[in-house]
């Protein structure tokens, strides 16, 4: 158990809908990272938040957004869902100054999103 | 555009064999290279490499980075069925804390 909690574990939704994925980082970790893993593209970095503020942005679509709340949990919002958005969405957290290499990133178990 | 390429895509070995996984990269401002093992869902951290030529070792796993030739290798010796997994390589660039992942190498260790 990495200490990173993601909910829900599985999600099935129809195209055009909107979903919210939730991530609770390890206790004391200030950075939260979101990743998308689909079969054909491997693990793609989406976005990072550090202590409530956006720190880095990767290949995140405009239909997607995220935020980190004062209690440091984070939510990833996916809207206007398309079939191609079906994937595993991982959240990771790390402590310290938000640099993933200094503190190791601990991953949650992921949320599997299926868009039908 | 940053690029991380892993090879091979997949391999099958028997227990006791040694495997060598490759990761080559093109990153504008390299900071570190990380290796992860992914079995069922969440990847687990294996190594972080920042300095060229220094081998990192953990049990039967070891990894080394060559910053001149822009690649890293991950070795697994005396493989066991529990080593079956996808091994991911990721490169972090200095600016923006951006991580770029390779496509992974799927390793299957047969008894």
Q: Which residues of chain A does B42 touch, with a Cβ-Cβ cutoff of 8 Å?
A: 2, 90, 107-110
Give the up-direction half-sphere exposure of residue A64: CA atoms within 13 A in the CB hemisphere: 17
Q: What count of other Cβ atoms lies within 10 Å of the Cβ of residue A23?
A: 26
In angstroms, the CA A79 to CA A86 distance is 12
Poorest-pLDDT segment among A70-79, B62-71, B97-106:
B97-106
B76: contact with A, CB 8 A cutoff: no
DSSP A56-105: EE-S--TTEEEEE-TTS-EEEEE-S--GGG-EEEEEEEE-TTS-HHHH--
| R_g (Cα) of chain A, nearest Å | 13
Pairing assessment for the beta strands A5-7 and A53-57 based on DSSP bridges = unpaired
Instruction: Compute the average pLDDT of residues B24-50.
Output: 87
Nearest CA among B16, B17, B13, B21 for reference residue B103? B21
According to the model, what pLDDT value does residue A42 have? Answer: 74
**Closest Cβ–Cβ partner in A98, A99, A107 for B43:** A107
Pairing assessment for the beta strands B30-38 and A64-68 based on DSSP bridges = unpaired
Question: CB contacts < 8 Å between A and B, how many?
Answer: 60
Chain A 38-57, CB below 8 Å of chain B: which residues? 41-45, 48, 55-57
Instruction: Compute the average pLDDT of residues B57-80.
Output: 92
According to the model, what pLDDT value does residue A95 have? Answer: 80
Q: How far is CA B85 from the centre of its chain?
A: 12
Contact between A109 and B90 using a beta-carbon 8 Å cutoff: no
- Residue A88 vs residue A9, higher pLDDT: A88
**Closest Cβ–Cβ partner in A45, A109, A110 for B99:** A45
Dihedral (CA of A2, A63, A12, A113) sign: negative
According to the model, what pLDDT value does residue A101 have? Answer: 45
Poorest-pLDDT segment among A7-11, B14-18, B78-82:
A7-11
Cα→Cα distances A91→A20, A68, A101, A109, B22, Å: 13, 12, 16, 8, 26
Q: What count of other Cβ atoms lies within 10 Å of the Cβ of residue A22?
A: 16
B90: contact with A, CB 8 A cutoff: yes
For residue range A17-56, what is the model confidence (pLDDT) as tens digits?
Answer: 888 898 999 998 999 999 998 876 777 889 999 999 998 8
Cα→Cα distances A59→B62, B76, B89, Å: 30, 31, 17
């Amino acid at each position: 158990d990495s200490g990173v909690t993601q909910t829900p574990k599985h999600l099935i939704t129809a195209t055009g809908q909107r979903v919210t994925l939730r991530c609770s980082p390890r206790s004391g970790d200030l950075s939260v990272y979101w990743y998308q893993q689909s079969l054909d593209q491997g693990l793609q970095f989406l976005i990072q938040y550090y202590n409530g503020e956006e720190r880095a942005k990767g290949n995140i679509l405009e239909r997607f957004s995220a935020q980190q709340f004062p209690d440091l949990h984070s939510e990833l919002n996916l809207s206007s869902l398309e079939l191609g958005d079906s994937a595993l969405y991982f959240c990771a957290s790390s402590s310290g100054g938000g640099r993933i290499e200094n503190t190791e990133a601990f991953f949650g178990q992921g949320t599997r999103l299926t868009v039908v | 555009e940053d690029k991380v390429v892993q090879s091979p895509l997949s391999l099958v070995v028997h227990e006791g064999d040694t495997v060598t996984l490759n990761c080559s990269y093109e990153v504008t401002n390299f900071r570190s290279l990380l290796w992860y093992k992914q079995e069922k869902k969440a990847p687990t951290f294996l190594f972080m490499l920042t300095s060229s030529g220094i081998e990192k070792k953990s049990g039967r796993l070891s990894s080394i980075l060559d910053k001149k030739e822009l690649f890293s290798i991950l070795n697994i010796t005396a493989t066991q069925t529990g080593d079956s997994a996808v091994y991911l390589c990721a490169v972090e660039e200095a600016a923006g804390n951006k991580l770029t992942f390779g496509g992974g190498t799927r390793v299957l260790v047969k008894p």
